[in-house]
Structure 1
Amino acid sequence: MRRLLPSHPPSRPSTVRAPLHLSHFTATSCLGAGNPATHQALLARRSGLAPCDFDDAQLSTWTGTVAGVDEVLLPAQLAEYDCRNNRLAQLGLEQDGFAAAVRELAGRLGAARVGVFLGTSTSGIYETELAYRVRDAATGALPESLVYHGSHNPYSLAAFVRAYFGLQGPAVSVSSACSSSGKVFGSAWRLIEAGLIDAAIVGGVDSLCLTTLYGFGSLDVLSDAPCRPFDAQRRGISIGEGAAFALLVRTPASLPADAVLLRGVGESSDAHHMSSPHPEGLGAKMAMEQALRMAGAPADAVDYINLHGTATPANDAAEGKAVAALFGPQGVPCSSTKGATGHTLGAAGGIEAVVSALALQHGMAWAGVNTGQLDPGIPVDYLTDNRAMRMACVMSNSFGFGGTNCSLLLGRAG
């Protein structure tokens, strides 16, 4: 067997890690396709949420649907991957010159030197839902048209993106609920540091499906109005869908001042409860601390935090306690952008990483949309208006179901 040797020897482990460069990034959600649409919606404090009209869902809730997903056509040679989730992935990949950047990089480095690390929670489960409607009445057999490995299988997303670009490097799907597409940044970083790859596509995609909508409905955490993170009267989440991607590469010697760097990743587990966060946010605090240590940055270096902020009573309260414990009461401006995009679940970490990168580049800490009366019991500097400010360092939090936590620390190159 031929042994594959890394083209770059692995670096010696250290507490502070050399940052990686987000050479390209893009986000698609109910706010629109691509970064310009996302940026304009955030500037205008516009929400993309609307009363739920997905499929035949009989639920009194609001959702964030991406326009045009059903009209996307996958390449004929990738027909086995056809599902709503992968159509949404392709729509996202073709924004902001991202696909062209991947192809150029793969051509320069080699297809085997680019990895794919993507997060999702339900992947293409909607295809299975549709298949169950036409299963054989006598045997219960699902139709042959259902291709499980190209749709429902969580690995379908990473496999599709790898095939879409003809890549040959490692491909991984992470499915750790709402932290999924945050944790992929850490997974990719470790393989780049080890010298096994030179670059990675990271991010996540999640699309609406009935399993998600009725599942969260059964937990009684769906809001019957647009979600209101950190509001005193918050009543639950609004589910959205979306796709976000970033291209991670080693940081070159020279970069423009507004280039975005990945400086730290913190990961932890509450080990507290199957669905509820630790009430004091201990796991969340650990993830934020770890991201700061990895960057060699003090807490007061953070200029803005994009909170996980789901708009459920327990999650917002726990995250607020964790932020206040680490940064001090009212210590750093923060907000949740889920009032604009909805909670995109497995795609949330990726979308909010891009939102945080846009905050750095445009010098704007984003307002929390829909929040009217702040919860006085959560002692954080929560923004209800956009705040223009020069920023050097932004943190993005993604805290998943069951206490799986991830914090990303992004910074400007100059």
Structure 2
Amino acid sequence: MEGRILQALHLSCFTAASCLGAGLEATLKALAANRSGLARCAFETVALATHVGEVAGVDDYRLPFDLADYDCRNNRLAVLTLEQDGFAETVRAAAQRYGAARVGVFLGTSTAGILETEQAYRQLDEAGAFVAPPVYEGSHTPYALADVVARHLGLSGPAFVVSTACSSGAKVFASAARLIGAGLIDAAVVGGVDSLCLTTLYGFNSLELVSPEPCRPYDSERRGISIGEAAAFALLERPAGELPPDAVLLAGVGESSDAYHMSSPHPEGRGAEAAMRAALVSAGLSPADVDYLNLHGTATPSNDAAEGQAVMRLFGRDVPASSTKGATGHTLGAAGALEVVIGALALKHGLIPGSPGSRALDAALDLDYVFTPRAQALGVVMSNSFGFGGSNASVVLRRADAKGHA
């Protein structure tokens, strides 16, 4: 989106589910109380000394009969979340207004339904064939996520899944904005869904990035990430008529790719800074206009240090900032969407979230880091999401009554 101002889009409805709870009320209460949902890992057969953010009730949730071919943990989490806060009903009403083919679906994920494939490989016969073959089309393939969401909501517009690691759930906001701006669709369901699986838990552990304690973003003694799962969705539409003052608008999106390393960010945070600057250009705003910055803040030494340097260059100590991953864990492909929803809640309720678990700011990072929640009127929020391979995205939200481009 760099180089041009984005036409602001209305987040007319949004919802989320994470280890903090399902729905906006549970999420807001936990954020206001500075409560973490992380707990010692007891997921599946995982034998790791770490903490995870598991969403309650996913194992027992059942998909509607017509979606039985899509049954997997990731899709159950998606549909469970769609049914929170009246989101599904609001989208179906939008489809009635615009036409089902004029509403797109753009979602982020990293592992989709790979857990079911992992489980299937445990059950092989003597010839090495599957006893219960995984359903590739309905679970393992990332596109299954967009397909199950579109089917559940009755949508037939353009649909695709972005899988750029931890920036996936943020980059879809740029994808949707481009298609709406081009006139190909009138509205879009955007979001991200990633569920716990063995691949990510053991994979990040093999990279020596998993913390043995609940993660402590930006802390001087941070020891790595805590993996979580989540789903988050928003309905994007062009603003219609006069909006209420607390309506939340997508004001800008910035993307960059520094391609510094397969799994490490540029040590000076060049890609992070480029994404944040592009987001501000897209929103027609300056750094001084941002009232709160939701940091990527994974709690690994290198990621926090790189992002922190970029923030210091761009904002200095002039913007309050925190990472909410101490509350939710790092939800990977869902993190961008989840933290956009958290940003939207912050705008509507005048709340800067804290950073559960973090105690003392890294002395090398001179930031206005928020450890405990602050009640403060907010007009503009930025949310950062940075992925492996230098795939970066920053999203700018603003209230309808805040200054900025319409």
Q: Which TM bucket (shorter chain)?
A: over 0.9
The alpha carbon displacement at 1:145 in A equals 4.5
Aligned to 2:90: 101
Contact 1:118 1:184 in 2 (8 A): yes
Instruction: State the identity as a percent.
Output: 64
Corresponding residue to 1:211 among 191, 194, 199: 199
Calculate the TM-score normalised by the size of structure 2. Answer: 0.97
- State the distance in 2 between where 1:15 and 1:70 align: 44
Contact residue 120 and residue 132 of structure 2 kept, 8 A: no
SS in 1 for 2:140: coil
Aligned match of 2:404: none
| Equivalent in the alignment of 2:306 | 318
Out of 118, 135, 139, the residue aligned to residue 129 of structure 1 is 118
Secondary structure of the residue aligned to 1:377 is coil
Amino acid paired to 2:35: R
Distance apart, 1:327 and its partner CA: 0.9
Task: Decide which of 140, 156, 160 is 2:148's aligned counterpart.
Answer: 160
AA matched with 2:213? A
Q: Does structure 2 conserve the Cα–Cα contact (< 8 Å) formed by 1:324 and 1:331?
A: no
Residues 340-395 of structure 1 deviation map (CA, whole Å, 9 limit, x = unaligned): 00000000000000000000001111111100111110111100111111111000
Matched, 1:264 2:247: no
The one-letter amino acid paired with 2:111 is: T
Matched residue SS, 2:219: coil
Give the alignment's TM-score, normalised by structure 1. Answer: 0.95
4+ runs deviating over 4 angstroms: none
Partners of 1:16 and 1:272 in 2: CA distance: 28
Residues 19-98 of structure 1 mapped to structure 2, 5 A cutoff? 19-98=8-87
Q: Is the 8 A contact 2:167 2:335 kept in 1?
A: yes
AA in 1 matched with 2:250: L
Work out whether 1:300 is the aligned partner of 2:269: no
Distance in 2 between residues matched to 1:120 and 1:162, nearest whole Å: 15
Q: Is the 8 A contact 2:23 2:84 kept in 1?
A: yes
Of residues 318, 338, 352, the one that matches 1:351 is: 338
Provide the residue aligned with 2:388 in structure 1: 401
Report the Cα offset of residue 135 of structure 1.
Answer: 1.9
Gap regions ≥5 residues in structure 1:
1-12
> Displacement of 1:14 after TM fit?
7.3
Alignment partners' CA distance in 1, 2:152 and 2:200: 27
2:104 to 115, 128, 135: 115
Letter in 2 for 1:261: L
CA distance in 2: counterparts of 1:141 and 1:292, whole angstroms = 53
Contact 1:19 1:261 in 2 (8 A): yes
**How far off is 1:147 after superposition?**
0.9
C-alpha separation in 2, matches of 1:165 and 1:40: 28
- RMSD of Structure 2 on Structure 1 (CA): 1.0
Residue matched to 1:8: none
Contact 2:107 2:190 in 1 (8 A): yes
Asked if the contact 1:81–1:150 (Cα under 8 Å) also holds between the matched residues in 2, the reply is yes
**Which SS does the other structure have where 2:14 is aligned?**
strand
From 333, 345, 356, the equivalent of 2:320 is 333
3-state SS in 1 of match to 2:255: strand
Unaligned runs of 5+ in 2: 402-406
Does the 8 A contact of 2:111 with 2:142 survive in 1?
A: yes
Give the deviation of 1:142 after TM superposition.
2.3
Q: Contact (CA 8 Å) 1:241, 1:347: kept in 2 or not? A: yes
Q: Is the 8 A contact 1:120 1:154 kept in 2?
A: yes
